[in-house]
Amino acid sequence: MQITEYKFANITTRPFLTLNDVNNKWIFTDGTKHVIDLCMYREPEVIDAIKAKGATFDWFPTDERPMDLDMILLAVSKLAEYDRDGSHIIVHCLHGNNRSRTVVEAYHFAKLGTHFEDECKGSKNHLIWNCEQGYLPPLPEMEKLLKDIPQDRIEKATKYIDTLKKSNLL
């Protein structure tokens, strides 16, 4: 199980949240105010439990290979919005090791203009790796997008999520 806490912001990445996780004070702390979900599927009972604790829940469904660039950019945009108040944010995907870390490391670049270096393992930055593998655009293009996230991409992703909500999928 991969759980990472970041020092540049009050963000934790982790595997898919369960009801037990939401009710565990060590995982879902009193300061947790936002949950960003990158899984392709979701559990309504878990979402209800998150909302019952007073936290927001945002779902940006993206596959791993390739990743949905618009969903990644929208998730980074939401992280920037939520990070302003300093509350704890949980970002998760199925295993908590690729999509969630890619989004947080993309946010690190958007916020600080530098690439995140893994504080624990010294492993390769997930954002860079996904760009190198072709799952995201080439790194120079991705960096440009992260420096100034295009509003049209945010609107496109937001419309897609609105469609999911209207279809009762969210």
Its pTM stands at: 0.86
The sign of the torsion formed by the CA atoms of 59, 61, 67, 70 equals negative
148 occurs within a structural domain: yes
What pLDDT sits at residue 167? 75
165 occurs within a structural domain: no
164 occurs within a structural domain: no
Which residues span the domain enclosing 148? 4-159
Phi, psi of 85 (to 5 degrees): -90, -5
125 occurs within a structural domain: yes
What pLDDT sits at residue 170? 56
168 occurs within a structural domain: no
What pLDDT sits at residue 168? 65
The sign of the torsion formed by the CA atoms of 27, 161, 95, 149 equals negative
167 occurs within a structural domain: no
Domains of the chain: total: 1
Quote the CA–CA distance of 105 and 18 in Å, as a whole number: 24
Residue 36, both tokens? 């960003």
Low-confidence spans in the chain with pLDDT less than 70: 1-3, 118-123, 168-170
CATH number of the domain encompassing residue 64: 3.90.190.10
- In this structure, the strands spanning 88-92 and 4-5 are unpaired
- 160, containing H or E segment: helix 151-166
137 occurs within a structural domain: yes
Q: pLDDT tens digit string along 116-136?
A: 876 555 567 889 999 999 999
Q: Order of strands, edge to edge, in the sheet holding 56-59? A: 4-5, 11-14, 88-92, 32-37, 56-59
170 occurs within a structural domain: no
